[in-house]
Structure 1
Amino acid sequence: MFQQNFFSKAALALLIAGSLVGCDQAASSSTEASKAPDAPQRGGKLLIAIDTDPNCLDPQQAGNNNSLNIGRQLTDSLTDQDSKSGEIVPWLATQWQVDDDNRRFTFTLRDGVSFSDGSTFSAQSVKDNFEAIVKLGARASLASTYLKGLKQIETPDEHTVVVTFDQPNAQFLQATSTMSLGFFSPATVKATAEARCQGSLTGTGPFVLKQFVHNQKTELVRRDGYQWPSSLAAHQGESYLDAVEYRVIPESGVRFGSLISGQLDVNVGVTPQDESLLLAKKIKLLARTNPGLVYSLFPNHSTPLMASQPVRQALNLAIDRPALKPVLSRYQASATSVLAKTTPLYQDRSSALKYDPQAAEKLLEDNGWKRAADGIRSKDGQRLSFRISYWQNAPFIELVQQQVKKVGIDLQLEKAPIGQVVARQASGNLTVDFYNLTRSDPDVLRTVFDASGRNVNRRQPSEVDRLLLQSSETLDSAQRQKYVTEAADLLIAEGNAIPLVELATVIATGQQVQGFHFDASSRFQLYDTWLSAKE
C-alpha cells in the first residue's frame, strides 16, 4: 500500500499520456478590452443563458451538461482534477491510500464540512451516497458505472472511509473528482429519485438551490459559511457571487442579443454562426474541446436493420467527416477516433474513418440492398431507413443525412425536447442513438459500450468487453494504452461506434465576468467567478 496527497506517478502518467495540447483553448474578443480590477469583488447575481431545460438537477442522476453545470455548484467531491496536467488533487479528501492492486481506496476526509441544512459531512456520508447511487442503478447513468463492482464501504472513524471493489478499478480515483460522485445530505439521500431531479437537493457546495422552474430558470444563492473549496481554488471562504440564475433561452438570436445588450452575463449556448459576430462585438469567448466520447452514431443490434454488420460498416464508410467542417464551430473538429483528442490515452484512428462511398455501396449491394426508384435501398421489402432523435444544437447531422443518402441510406432526423429524447434512449428501441459523453478518462468507453453495463449497442458480449475490462484494471500506462486503442479499433471496425464530430464547449461572457474557467471535463465551477463593474 502507498500513501499520497496527490496522484501516484504511474496514475499521473496514465492521465497525461493522451495529448493535452489545445485542451484549454481560449479566445479573447479583443486586446482592447478594459483591464480587470486588481482584486476580486464580492456580490452581484450572475445571469447565465442555457439553450435547453436541465430536465434533472441531481448530478448523481443527470448526464447532460446543463444539468451537471448546475449540479456542480451544489456539491463538492472527494478530489478535483487539474484541467492542464490531469493531476488528481485534494478537495473533501485531504489524502488517500491505494492498494497496489487498485481494489481498495482509503480516503482521509477534511474536518468541518457540512451540508447546507447543517448536518455534518462524514465518512458515513460518503458510504450513504455511494450506496444510494448503486441502488439508483440505470437512473444514475454515469455515477453507477463509476461504482461498478463495488464490494463494500467501511467507515473506521468519521474522517476515514475505505472503498473496496471486486476487481482492480483504475478509473475510480478520477471518478471521485466528478460531480456525479458529489455528496448530498441524509435527507436528500432518502428522497425519491424524482424529487431529487426536481430540486430536493441539499449539498456541501458553495451555492444553495433557491428555485427550479422547468423550461424557465434555475436560481442559486450563495452558501453562508462555506469554507472547504478544492485545492485548485483561487481563494478561500464563501463564493464571491451572491447568486446565480440560469435562464432557459432556446433561441440563439435572443441569447446573442441579450448578451450584447448586457441583459445577460454568460451565454453557454454559443452557436458557430454567432462566433464571428461576438468577436466583432468584443465579447470574450472561452472554448475547450470536451474530452471523452465524441459525437457518434450508435447502432442498435436488437433492431433488424442494425443487426447487420455490413449495414453498420457501410454507414461508417458513407460519411465524409472533413466535409462537415463548414458548419462546425472554429473550435470543433471532425472526429479522428471514438475518443476526443483531449482524452487521456487518445490515439488517432482516422485511417479507419476514411470516406469511401464506393466501398459502402459495394457492401450494401453484396448484401442484397438494392436501390429503389427514389434512390433509397431496400431488401426483402424493408427500406434502408431509420430515424434518430436528438436535442442538441448539431447542424452537422443534416450534412451527414445528405451524405448517407448518396449511397442509398435514408436517415431521418427528429429534433425533440431533451426529456423526450432521454426517454427514447432509455427505452432501447431506437434503431440508432446519437450523442456524446464528456469525461476526462478513457473509461468513458466502458461506461457506454460494456455489454454488462449500459450496452448502448444492445449487443452480445465480445472481445471488446474483455479489452475494456482490462483497461479499467491497470494503471500501467503502456498496457492501458494498448487496451484502449484496441477497443477503439474494434468498436469502429464492427460498426458499433460511428464517430462524427469532436464537441467543443464555447462560452461567451461579458467583460464584467471575471474568474470564469473550465474544469478538466470542460464544465465549470463558479466558486471563483466574480463580477466587476460594467462600463
Structure 2
Amino acid sequence: MLPISRKRVVAGAAALVIGALALSACASQRGGDDNAEGPADVDGTFVFAASSDPASLDPAFAQDGETFRVSRQIFEGLVGTKPGTPDPAPLLAESWETSDDSLSYTFALKKDVTFQDGTPFNAEAVCVNFDRWYNWEGLAASEALGYYYNKLFKGYASSPDSAVFDSCTPDGDSSVTITLKKPFAGFVAALSLPAFSMQSPKALEEYKADEVGGTADAPTLSEYAMGHPVGTGPYKFDEWARGEQVTLSSYEDYWGDKGQIDKIIFRTIDDPTARRQALESGSIDGYDLVGPADTGALKDAGFTMVSRPPFTILYLAFNQAVKELQDPKVREALSYAVDKDALISQVLPEGTEKATQFMPQSVNGWNADVTTYDYDPEKAKSLLAEAGYTEANPLKLTFNYPVNVSRPYMPDPEQIFTVLSSQLKAVGVETTPKSNEWGEYLDLITGGTDHGIHLLGWTGDYNDTDNFLGVFFGQKSAEWGFDNPELFKDLTDARGIADLDEQTQLYSDINEEVATFIPGVPLAHPAPTLAFDPRVESYPASPVNDEVFSQIVLTK
C-alpha cells in the first residue's frame, strides 16, 4: 500500500496527516520487562494484536494486510511514502530520474546499507530481486502466489510479449537502471508495495525462496517464507509461532533511526471482542480494525481511537465462471437488490462512505456521473423474472465469505454476509453460505474457480487508479471469471499515459465501462480504526497502512 509516481490531485491530502495521539492515565500492564530502556527509558517491548497470522514471511508471495504489516518492519523498498499520505517518497532509493520515453528509470541508491544477514544492499542486490520476480515460473508466477507482480507487471521471462519489465542494470554499486518494455505510469508508486521490497540475495538462495509447491488452491511455502526473511528494515525476524505470534527485534546495524521499540510481538487474536479485551486488560499495546460497537466504549475508558481516512473498497463480487452470473440481467438485478445505506448503518464503522465505483473519490478518474443501481427491490425482482427466475424457479447461488478475520475494508465479514444474504432473500435469491478461514478463503477466491458471489475488498496501496481498477479488472482473473478484451485493453492503455488530464478522462470513461458491465457491487469505503494503550504518545497512522513501528513514540 504505497505512493504515486506522478502529480496527482488528492482530495484532502493534507488532512491525511495524522497528528500525535494525546493519551491519558494508566500505565501498560502487558507484563513486559520493566527494566527495558530505550532512548526515553521506556518499556521497549510493543505488543500488537493482529487479526490473523501472516500468510507468508516472504512479501513477494503475499497480498494481505497482516503479512504486509509484519513485512514493513523487516523489509524496505526503493520507494516509500510521505508520512500520512499515499504519495511516494525516497527510501532505499534517494532519488530517481525517468527517461524521455518513460521506459527507463535510474535510481540513486542509499549507501552503507546492509541486509540483516550482514550482506550489502547495492545495485546488484536490486537486480537480483527484479530478476527473481521476472523469472518466476509455474505456481510462483500464478495469481495465487505472485499476486502483485502478476497484476502489475503482467508477464514473465516465459511470456515476454506481455511483460512490462525488460531489464535491470547496475551502474556501479549505488546506481541502478530499470528498463521497461511498455509504459507504466504508476511504476515508481508501485515500488512502495511491500511485495516489491528488497530482500537479501544470500538468504533467498540459501533458503530456496522460490521452491514453492502444492496447488493454486492450496500452495505450500518455501523454507525462506516460513522462517528466514531478511531485509534492510529496522527489525529482524526472530520467531514465528504459527497461530500464536510473530516476534521481531531491533536490527542493531539499521541505517536509520531505530526508535524506542526494540522488540515487537504481533500476537494473533482473530476475534474482535478478544482483541478489545486484551487491550483493556493491558496484555497488548494496540490493535487495528476496532469493531464499530467498541469505538465509543474504548474512547470513554481512556484509550485513544485513530481512524484512517477511507482509502478502501468493500465489494460483492460476481464470479462469471458461474453460468447464472454470465447473464447481465442477473448481475443488474443483484445490484438493485443491495441496500448499501442499510449495510453501512447496521454493520460498518463510523466514517464509512457509500461506494458508487470500485475506488475512493480521492483517486484520479473517479466519475461523479457514473451509472448507479440504487436500491430498488421491485426492479430486482422484475429483472430476475426477465432472466427466467421466479418464485417457482428461484435463482440459486453460492455465497462465499471469510470467517474469524477482520480486514480494513471488511471489519466483520459474517455480519456483512448476514445483512446482504437477507437483502438477496427478500428479492427471491436463494444463497448457500460457504465460509473459510482467511488464508483458505484467499486461495479459493484468487486461485480457483469454485466460488460464487463473494465478499472481498481492497485497501489502496498507493494513489494510482491502476492500483484499484487495473488490479481488479486489468486482465483475466480467477476471482471475477470473465474475459473482456475491450476492458483489458482500455486499462492497459490508460496505465501507460503520462499526461494527467488525458489519463483522468480515460479512467473516468473506464469507471462507466465497469459500471455498465457490472462485475460486482461496490458497496462502501470503510474507515478503519485503531486503538492504543495510553503509553503510546503517537502512532504513524497511514491511509495505506505504511506504518513502521520504529516511528512510534512511547511515554512509559
- How many Å separate the matches in 2 of 1:348 and 1:270? 31
Question: Does 1:318 pair with 2:322?
Answer: no
Question: Does 1:309 pair with 2:328?
Answer: yes
Question: Does 1:389 pair with 2:404?
Answer: no
Report deviation, 1:350.
Answer: 6.8
What is the root-mean-square deviation in Å for CA atoms of aligned residues? Answer: 2.5
Report deviation, 1:85.
Answer: 5.4
- How many Å separate the matches in 1 of 2:20 and 2:326? 44
Q: Residue in 2 aligned with 1:3?
A: none
Report deviation, 1:28.
Answer: 6.2
- How many Å separate the matches in 1 of 2:399 and 2:86? 38
Contact 1:318-1:357 at 8 Å conserved across structures: yes
Q: Residue in 2 aligned with 1:258?
A: 278
Question: Does 1:471 pair with 2:494?
Answer: yes
- How many Å separate the matches in 2 of 1:349 and 1:183? 41
Q: Residue in 2 aligned with 1:211?
A: 239
C-alpha deviations, 1:318-373, integer Å up to 9, x for none?
A: 1111111222111323223210234344344675141122222221111211113x
SS where residue 227 of structure 2 aligns? coil
Question: Does 1:147 pair with 2:153?
Answer: yes
- How many Å separate the matches in 1 of 2:510 and 2:12? 18
Structure 1: runs of 5 or more not aligned: 1-5, 229-236
Q: Residue in 1 aligned with 2:473?
A: 449
SS where residue 470 of structure 1 aligns? helix
SS where residue 278 of structure 2 aligns? helix
Question: Taking structure 1 as reference, are residues 520 and 478 closer, same or farther at Cα in structure 2, changes over 3 Å only?
Answer: same
- How many Å separate the matches in 1 of 2:528 and 2:458? 12
**Which residue identity lines up with residue 153 of structure 2 in the other structure?**
L
Question: Taking structure 1 as reference, are residues 197 and 435 closer, same or farther at Cα in structure 2, changes over 3 Å only?
Answer: farther
Q: Residue in 2 aligned with 1:126?
A: 126
Question: Does 1:414 pair with 2:434?
Answer: yes
**Which residue identity lines up with residue 49 of structure 2 in the other structure?**
A
- 2:352 corresponds to which of 332, 335, 340: 332
Where in structure 2 are the equivalents of 1:109-120 lying within 5 Å?
Answer: 109-120=109-120
Question: Taking structure 1 as reference, are residues 299 and 7 closer, same or farther at Cα in structure 2, changes over 3 Å only?
Answer: closer
- 1:286 corresponds to which of 298, 306, 319: 306
SS where residue 142 of structure 1 aligns? helix
Report deviation, 1:174.
Answer: 0.4
SS where residue 147 of structure 2 aligns? coil
Where in structure 2 are the equivalents of 1:72-471 lying within 5 Å?
Answer: 72-84=72-84, 86-134=86-134, 135=136, 136-138=140-142, 139-148=145-154, 149-190=164-205, 191-193=208-210, 194=221, 195-228=223-256, 237-291=257-311, 294-326=313-345, 327-348=347-368, 352-372=372-392, 377-378=393-394, 383-391=395-403, 392=406, 393-394=412-413, 395-425=415-445, 426-438=447-459, 439-440=461-462, 441-444=464-467, 445-452=469-476, 454=477, 456-471=479-494
Report deviation, 1:493.
Answer: 1.5
Question: Taking structure 1 as reference, are residues 342 and 286 closer, same or farther at Cα in structure 2, changes over 3 Å only?
Answer: farther
C-alpha deviations, 1:82-120, integer Å up to 9, x for none?
A: 255554221111111112332211111111011000011
Contact 1:28-1:283 at 8 Å conserved across structures: no
C-alpha deviations, 1:108-164, integer Å up to 9, x for none?
A: 111101100001111111111122223132212123433331111111222111111
**Which residue identity lines up with residue 71 of structure 1 in the other structure?**
S
- How many Å separate the matches in 2 of 1:7 and 1:247? 32
Question: Taking structure 1 as reference, are residues 142 and 252 closer, same or farther at Cα in structure 2, changes over 3 Å only?
Answer: same
TM-score where L is the length of structure 1 = 0.87
Report sequence identity in percent: 21
- How many Å separate the matches in 1 of 2:489 and 2:401? 31
C-alpha deviations, 1:474-531, integer Å up to 9, x for none?
A: 1222122122222222222211131112132211001111331223513421121133
Report deviation, 1:390.
Answer: 1.8
- How many Å separate the matches in 2 of 1:26 and 1:303? 47
SS where residue 167 of structure 2 aligns? strand
C-alpha deviations, 1:368-418, integer Å up to 9, x for none?
A: 11113xxxx43xxxx422221324423233211111111111233333211
C-alpha deviations, 1:181-228, integer Å up to 9, x for none?
A: 111111332223422332321111100111111110000000002114
Question: Taking structure 1 as reference, are residues 85 and 269 closer, same or farther at Cα in structure 2, changes over 3 Å only?
Answer: closer
Question: Taking structure 1 as reference, are residues 385 and 405 closer, same or farther at Cα in structure 2, changes over 3 Å only?
Answer: same
Q: Residue in 2 aligned with 1:481?
A: 504
437-446 vs 313-322, which moves further: 437-446
Question: Taking structure 1 as reference, are residues 33 and 466 closer, same or farther at Cα in structure 2, changes over 3 Å only?
Answer: farther
Question: Taking structure 1 as reference, are residues 7 and 285 closer, same or farther at Cα in structure 2, changes over 3 Å only?
Answer: closer
19-28 vs 92-101, which moves further: 19-28
Structure 2: runs of 5 or more not aligned: 28-38, 155-163, 211-220, 407-411
TM-score where L is the length of structure 2 = 0.84
Question: Taking structure 1 as reference, are residues 258 and 422 closer, same or farther at Cα in structure 2, changes over 3 Å only?
Answer: same
**Which residue identity lines up with residue 271 of structure 1 in the other structure?**
G
